[in-house]
């Protein structure tokens, strides 16, 4: 996890296009300036960043399902529940499932578990648009490689 670059997941563990599910993982850094303010004496991973981590996980699922033809942009959040504190150094197991692929939008459910305990979950809706330009698409390809996106799954999905 590189919070300062807004990269909130480390690796795509599994992408299952038949079931329309994804699993990712991330490790909360031991130190970050964010923890100096959130909070002094009680460093906690901010809930908004946990939600973004779920959105990035679900977003890669949507990219996989749409076979890199659409870029998902976070549009709506429902039923978000932050169930327990997440602290520096913890490893997160994230997952998401596609509930519906509409025309120009997708609805997903996502969750984060720490030590097998549900830490947060939400329903996340994305707007889907064509990649706005070649540079943007190239940056996503680069990020996909960094996260070990299983390109082979696209051929079999």
Partner 1 sequence: MPSTFDTVANIISETCDIPRDTIKPESHAINDLGIDSLDFLDIAFAIDKAFGIKMPLEQWTQEVNDGKATTEQYFQLNNLCARIDELVAAKGA
Which residues carry out catalysis? 38
Q: Please give the Cα distance from 92 to 24 (Å, whole number).
A: 8
Comparison of 86 and 124: residue with beta carbon closer to partner 1: 124
Q: Give me the least distance between CB of 125 and partner 1, in Å please.
A: 6
Q: Please give the Cα distance from 36 to 39 (Å, whole number).
A: 6
Q: Give me the least distance between CB of 123 and partner 1, in Å please.
A: 10
Contact at 8 Å (CB) between 6 and 34?
Answer: no
Q: Give me the least distance between CB of 103 and partner 1, in Å please.
A: 4
Binding site for partner 1 (CB under 8 A): 75-76, 100-105, 107, 125, 127
Comparison of 103 and 133: residue with beta carbon closer to partner 1: 103
Comparison of 101 and 141: residue with beta carbon closer to partner 1: 101
Q: Please give the Cα distance from 104 to 130 (Å, whole number).
A: 9
Q: Single out the residue of 93, 40, 50, 68 nearest to residue 143, CA to CA.
A: 68
Q: Single out the residue of 130, 104, 124, 103 nearest to residue 112, CA to CA.
A: 124
């Amino acid at each position: 996890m590189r919070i300062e670059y807004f990269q909130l997941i480390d690796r795509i563990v599994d992408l299952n296009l038949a079931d329309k599910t994804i699993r990712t993982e991330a490790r909360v850094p031991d130190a970050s300036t964010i923890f100096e303010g959130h909070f002094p004496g009680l460093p906690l991973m901010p809930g908004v960043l946990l939600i973004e981590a779920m959105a990035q996980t679900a977003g890669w699922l949507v990219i996989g399902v749409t076979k890199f033809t659409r870029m998902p942009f976070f549009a709506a959040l429902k039923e978000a529940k932050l169930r327990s504190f997440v602290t520096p150094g913890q490893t997160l197991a994230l997952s998401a499932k596609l509930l519906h692929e509409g025309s120009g939008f997708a609805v997903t459910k996502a969750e984060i578990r720490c030590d097998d305990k549900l830490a947060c979950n939400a329903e996340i809706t994305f707007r889907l648009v064509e990649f706005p330009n070649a540079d943007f698409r190239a940056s996503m390809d680069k990020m996909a490689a960094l996260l070990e996106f299983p390109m082979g799954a696209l051929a079999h999905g």
